[in-house]
Amino acid sequence: MTTATLALRIDAPLQSWGVRSKFVRRDTATEPTKSGIVGLLAAARGVDRADTAGIAQLAALHMGVRVDREGLVERDYHVTQNVPNTKGTGHRTVVSDRFYLADALFLVALHGPRALLAELEAAILRPHWPLYFGRKAFVPASPLLEPPHRRETHGTGLLDESLDHVLKTHPWLEQRLDQRRQARDSDRPLQLRTIRDVPASDPEAELRHDHPVSFAHEHREHTSRTVRHGYVTLTEP
């Protein structure tokens, strides 16, 4: 089986990657979750929320994330009025805390069968359903994939390389001149944080409960995966 890696840009003013969201407290991770990225791919491909086989195929891809710009976790004080109870009566006001990630930029790399990744690349360019980052209002600020004539210098798209190689060598996605100038003028090389799937036998493996099984409205289900945190040194001039 021929394998490849699909590199995506995840860029938006606001993002939300919930891990332990329940009831009136909706959290966000500081980087994209496996569940969030699989949901994004499922929307692009037109996979139904309850299609466990289709979701399992996407969740089986190995995922790595490189944090090209760390975001800020912000809190939204949210008030909803006239909320009924489970019997449809007793309307009340509900106060909830909703957290989101502001001003973040990520490189997400997915490794697996080349044929499947080629299908996903085409689907992202012409998605079946709208794409967003955790909430419907949090839409991409720039394309997830570069057009073909820019890929040689910017790199996002289908690559015949390993997951680790892409995380280490992919061009920095940051386009802000002040950020690039600051990195260039610094005495220290820029290090970018990474999170990637690893086997449970990895001595540095950590559990993360964000591996999706089903997105069905009444029967959402997730299981755990193992990840390793690390850093790569930016070598781009």
How do residues 217-233 score in pLDDT, each as one tens digit? 878 899 999 999 999 99
Domains defined for the chain, CATH in brackets = 3-19+29-70+104-233 (3.30.70.2660)
The predicted model scores a pTM of: 0.88
Cα distance between residue 101 and residue 139, in whole Å: 13
Contact 63, 37 (CB under 8 A): yes
Q: Give the per-residue pLDDT at 150.
A: 64
Listed in sequence order, the DSSP H helices in the chain are 34-45, 52-59, 114-125, 151-154, 163-169, 177-185
How do residues 43-87 score in pLDDT, each as one tens digit? 999 999 999 999 999 999 999 999 999 999 887 766 565 556 666
Cα distance between residue 19 and residue 35, in whole Å: 9
Q: Considering just the CA atoms, what is the radius of gyration of the chain in Å?
A: 19
Q: Distance between alpha carbon 121 and the CA centroid of its chain, in Å? A: 15
Concatenated DSSP letters of 194-235: EEEE--TT-TT-EEEEEEEEE--TT--EEEEEEEEEEEEE--
